[in-house]
Each structure stands twice: as C-alpha cells, then as structure tokens.
Structure 1
C-alpha cells in the first residue's frame, strides 16, 4: 500500500510539472527531454521515440530519441505510411483517446500487429504505448513508448496516466509554436528535391541543401532526408496508387520558427504502371501568412469558435458581418473578441492583424 501511494505521489508531481511546461514556451526538443525525465518513472518504459507533427494533418514530421539507434528508420517510415496496422497514431486520434497500448488494441495478441512482428519484438521489446499530443484542434506531436518483455504489458492505469500526460504535452508543444516575434525576410525560391525509390536525393535545386539542414531531425536516422520529406514522398506514392492519404502538403516548422509546405508528386516511367516504388519530386516553399495564420491561432489556444471570429476579422469583416456569418449576436462576437485579445496578448484589431500576419515575408532570391 505504501509503495502504491508513493507511485501515485510521483505521478501527481509529474503531471503538475507537465502542466507548467505550457507556460514556458519551450522548443519541441526541450519539451520532449523534460517529458522523458518526468514520465520514465511514471510510465515505466525502456525506450521512447518522440515526434513532432503537422498540426493540421497529424502527419509525423520529425523524430527524437536518446534510447534507440534509428538504423532501420526507413522501414519504420514505410510501415507507418503503408501498413494498415492496429493502434497507429491516426487510429488512436480518431478513437477520441490520447493514448493506447498495443497489448490492449490486440486483446493480448500483439502478434496480430505487423509493427510488433517487424519492429517491436525484433528490437527486444514486449509492448508499446502510443500517445498523440492534441490541443486546440491540432496534433502537435506524438510518441511511442516501448518496454521490455519482462515488465509485462502496460496496465490500464499506466495507459490512463499516459492519456492525461498526452493532453498536457499537447498544450506544451502548442505553446512553443507561437509566431516568431521579429521575423526576417525569407528566400521565396522553391527548394526542389528529386528522390529515388529509397528516398535518397538524386538531384537538388534552389535552396534545397540549406533547407534540408534546417529541417534535419534532432536524432540522426537511416534516412538521407528529414522525416517530413520522407513522409511526404511516401504519401505521394500512396496517392499515385489510388490509396487514401491525408491531405498534402505536409507542414513543418524549421528551427528558426518558419513554416514550410512540402508538396510531393510520384513519378513513373513513360508507359509504367507502378508509381509506389518510383521517384518522387518534393517541392518545399515558405508558408505564406494566409497559410500560417490558422496555425498561429491554434498555437495561442483559441477555441474553434474564437478562431472563426478571428479569421473573419483578419479578412476585414466588421462585428455585424461576423455576427451574421456565424449566426450569433454582436454582443457574443464582442465576447469572443475579448477572449481573442486576451489569449494573443493584443489590445486592438490592428494589433491582432500585426501579430497574426507576422510570418516571415518573402525577400529577394538568395537574400
């Protein structure tokens, strides 16, 4: 009984510290490192892979791990995109949960999972707990926690703790995605990459080499390109085969706070029929203010209704027009507007426009 009370006290303290992370505006890497320290004794895992994600689509776009050698990470990316597996990040998110264990999803038969057969068991682990970090309508990251077979499957209580932690981590990651305070002009020249069937660069143009360095994963992997580029390429191959795929482009935030869009298209030889294993062209472009504003609104923690009000105001609509479009009274619009001002730290509509449209502006090529 005393041991149990001790574990519960440790868990409560960890959750309290996770809750405080949202006010620190840490980078994703910093959030993950602190979360690792806090959650390892609580969730009792032996290895973890942390990922950031495109908030809009939930697509994984980076990897960070201090436990695992990612020498076969290309295989992991392929399974993540192509395998119709159990307890995947999209399925967990779609279920309304924030965390799920492979043992529970397979009803005690993890061999049913191709991910377990091809990766988890081969690397000496017995169970996996996955968590998605959602907040303010966006998925800001996710993680996979593995434990050794001799620990047994994750118990339900641990999954519940992970569910709570995932919600708090979503808030912490979201808070770290606020727009940079003093953005500088960016080179508008698209970065173009031609990738072979193994996602190795065959040709580069524009500022691609510099961009690849700035989008590099925190942890080196077996990939020759950042995770986001490989994910965009594999989803393009899926789309070329007529298979369901999330909306492309993939969004990714560079280390300097700038957002980029990755557009990918699968190529095939003339007369060829199979694009799933062929070359892919990936074009990276700086996100425009119109493309980053919804992300910034979400990063400030605005509710869905507050985001609707703010977007209409940013497009020039007055209070009455907003009220008519959203079927609410002008007084309700004003209440939402006050909440928007409070959360974004501004005092007027012009200030809101400046704050939200502060994405880096295009500069001269090469500038």
Structure 2
C-alpha cells in the first residue's frame, strides 16, 4: 500500500508545476523509507547526452565534489549512469553490478566506502527520448545490500520521475519569456560567457557576462567547485578530448531558471598550465534548442519528426511524402502536437519553439 501511494505521488509531480529542485525534494520524502537509503545525490542532466549538469544533496558534504566529477567522467566503473541507461533498465545497484565485490569499483574505493557507506543504488530518469536527471542512493555499510524488490521499485519510480523532470523543462508562457527578454536584453543579444578553470575545476578567470550566468546556473547545493556542475563536466570532457580519448558529445546543454537553454563547450588551453580549460557558454541556437523543447512537451518520436519538418517550412503534403504517411495521419499527429504544445496553429508552434516558449 505504501509503495502504491508513493508511485501515485510521483506520478502527480508531472502536473504540479514544480521546479526540478522541488521534484527532487518531494521524491526524497516519498522514497527514502521505501528504498532504505541514508544519503542521496540528485542530479539534473542534459537530456540529449545524459551528462550531469547539477547536484542537490542535503545529506552529504560536497566540499570534495571535484573528485566525484572526475570519477564520473573518467572512471571505467560498474553501474555508471551512462551504462545503466544503455542497459535498458532505469535502476541498478553497485552490489549487483560487481557481483558483491564492491571494492572492484573505483567509486566505492575512493568515495562511497570512505564516506561510511556500503551499497549504492543508481537510477536514471528518462522520458520521451531524453534523460532529464539521475540520482545515487547510498546506505550505511551495516545495512547490507539493496534487495531485488527495492531495485525493481526504484526502476518503476524512475519512470515517473523522468516524466516529472521533463515537465519542469516545458518552455514558460509567452508573457514570462517577454518579461525575461526585456530584463536581460533578449537571448539574441547575449554575449557568450567565458570561464577558465584550473585542474580542480575551480575558476581562474571569468568574463563579464559569465558572472551573472554562473549565478543563474548555480547548483541547488553548494560545492567545492566555485562553478556550476555543468561547467566542471564540460571541462572534464575537454580534457578527455585533449588526451585523445573519444567522447560521445563534447558540448553540454543546460537550462536556466527562466527556461532558456545554453550550450557549454570546453577546450584545453594550449600553452597554458597543464589541466587548464576554457569553457564557453552561449545561448542555444534554434537547432540546439528545438529538439529539447519538443521532447519537453512530451511529444512522441513520430510527433517530433512531424513538428521539426513543420518548423522547417514543410507543408502537410511534404511531411506526408517525407515520412511516408497518409495525409490524415499527419493531421492526427498535428492535432496531438498542438494540444501538447498549447498552441492552435503552425504559426504559433513555430513561434513558440523559436522563441523558447513565446508566441507571436
């Protein structure tokens, strides 16, 4: 009964109009007793790549968070967030992934074990083709490993948390977009922000526009980094590239509190001190932002294909031909797209996506 009530509570979060931070805090209230964890780290993520972009934890000291970022990007470890996502499940425990040999994990040896914890349960929050967040749940060493039923319950809960976090990224209403644009000069006039990070991902130099943006992208929990988590992850990705290692995606997308998307890209400095990296953050172009907005609206993969063609100027006949659909099927998809995006016409849909929530 308690588990069912918790699932119902998680399902309701998608329609509650909450921020990601509030979703995480409410989820903690619903899940802590049922999963039996003693500490948790909640993370937002770039929905396109799954790379972590923020951290929230009321249980842990994050004064050595640079080590956690390093391990997350570099360590070839069991039960990482990307490997869980690729496996087709939404939750995995370290004890199961290591067959009970927790010390096989660098993450356990360097962070979890020294912190007094034993098993770790990780979950990824996917919905409509995007990974909107993830979490790591840790329990005291004397409590033993997580049970199979707890992992299975976390897998179910993760699906609803994915929907709740996706809903947090729906573009704001037109009035909110216009007000933000008036206050901050509009996304088209915003200069790129530049931050130089040292080997421990602490800032060495910050451009004028960066200081204000760093505040808007700040983590819910204070860390030892001095910059938002997204900047540190972008820097570590750049260091991997500089070492000749392949990364699936070198840029990171992150949304600010006003609903605007930014793209972060890191590059190792040539001729500078070893480990120094420049991270540039710029407003997302329509090409970067459109798929994120469409996914945030909860469109299916097919609906996203239809919407993208419409935004690019194709008419119904073109869409029908390009996607090998009957015209009436295209119209059915259009009706669903308009309903989910809260618009009444193609013109409104195009304006809403291109303006990041506004309408013409």
Residue in 1 that maps onto 2:270: 268
Q: Is the 8 A contact 2:171 2:357 kept in 1?
A: no
Residue in 2 that maps onto 1:301: 298
Residue in 2 that maps onto 1:328: 325
Q: Is the 8 A contact 1:50 1:143 kept in 2?
A: yes
| Structure 1 residue 60 corresponds to structure 2 residue 57 | no
Residue in 2 that maps onto 1:229: 231
In the TM superposition, what is the alpha-carbon distance from 1:116 to its structure 2 partner? 0.6
| Structure 1 residue 87 corresponds to structure 2 residue 79 | yes
1:42-53 correspondence runs (5 A): 42-53=34-45
Structure 2 CA distance for partners of 1:131 and 1:255, relative to 1, 3 Å: same
Q: Is the 8 A contact 1:301 1:343 kept in 2?
A: yes
Q: Is the 8 A contact 1:25 1:172 kept in 2?
A: no
| Structure 1 residue 179 corresponds to structure 2 residue 171 | yes
In the TM superposition, what is the alpha-carbon distance from 1:246 to its structure 2 partner? 2.6
Determine the C-alpha separation between the residues in 2 that align with 1:168 and 1:246: 27
Q: Is the 8 A contact 2:44 2:52 kept in 1?
A: yes
In the TM superposition, what is the alpha-carbon distance from 1:288 to its structure 2 partner? 2.6
Determine the C-alpha separation between the residues in 1 that align with 2:101 and 2:200: 32
Q: Note the residue ranges of structure 2 that are not aligned, 5 or more in a row.
A: none
Residue in 2 that maps onto 1:339: 336
Q: How many residues in Structure 1 have an aligned counterpart in Structure 2?
A: 348
SS of corresponding position for 2:126: strand
Residue in 2 that maps onto 1:4: none
Determine the C-alpha separation between the residues in 2 that align with 1:27 and 1:246: 28
In the TM superposition, what is the alpha-carbon distance from 1:303 to its structure 2 partner? 0.5
Residue in 2 that maps onto 1:364: none
| Structure 1 residue 71 corresponds to structure 2 residue 63 | yes
Residue in 2 that maps onto 1:245: 247
Q: Is the 8 A contact 2:259 2:356 kept in 1?
A: no
In the TM superposition, what is the alpha-carbon distance from 1:360 to its structure 2 partner? 8.0
**Runs (4+) off by over 6 Å:** none
1:110-259 correspondence runs (5 A): 110-181=102-173, 182-183=176-177, 184=181, 185-186=186-187, 187-259=189-261
In the TM superposition, what is the alpha-carbon distance from 1:25 to its structure 2 partner? 2.4
Q: 1:248-303: CA deviations, max 9, x gaps?
A: 21111112221111111012328xxxx9x521111110113332121111011101
SS of corresponding position for 2:40: strand
Q: What's the C-alpha RMSD, in Å, of the aligned pairs?
A: 1.4
Determine the C-alpha separation between the residues in 1 that align with 2:216 and 2:171: 17
Determine the C-alpha separation between the residues in 2 that align with 1:111 and 1:122: 11
Residue in 1 that maps onto 2:25: 33
Q: 316, 319, 331: which is aligned to 1:319? A: 316
Determine the C-alpha separation between the residues in 2 that align with 1:199 and 1:236: 12
Bigger mean CA offset, 254-263 vs 299-308: 254-263
Determine the C-alpha separation between the residues in 2 that align with 1:202 and 1:119: 26
Q: 1:127-153: CA deviations, max 9, x gaps?
A: 000000000000000000000112110
TM-score normalised over the length of structure 2: 0.94
Residue in 2 that maps onto 1:101: 93
TM-score normalised over the length of structure 1: 0.92
Determine the C-alpha separation between the residues in 1 that align with 2:328 and 2:146: 50
SS of corresponding position for 2:15: coil
SS of corresponding position for 1:22: helix
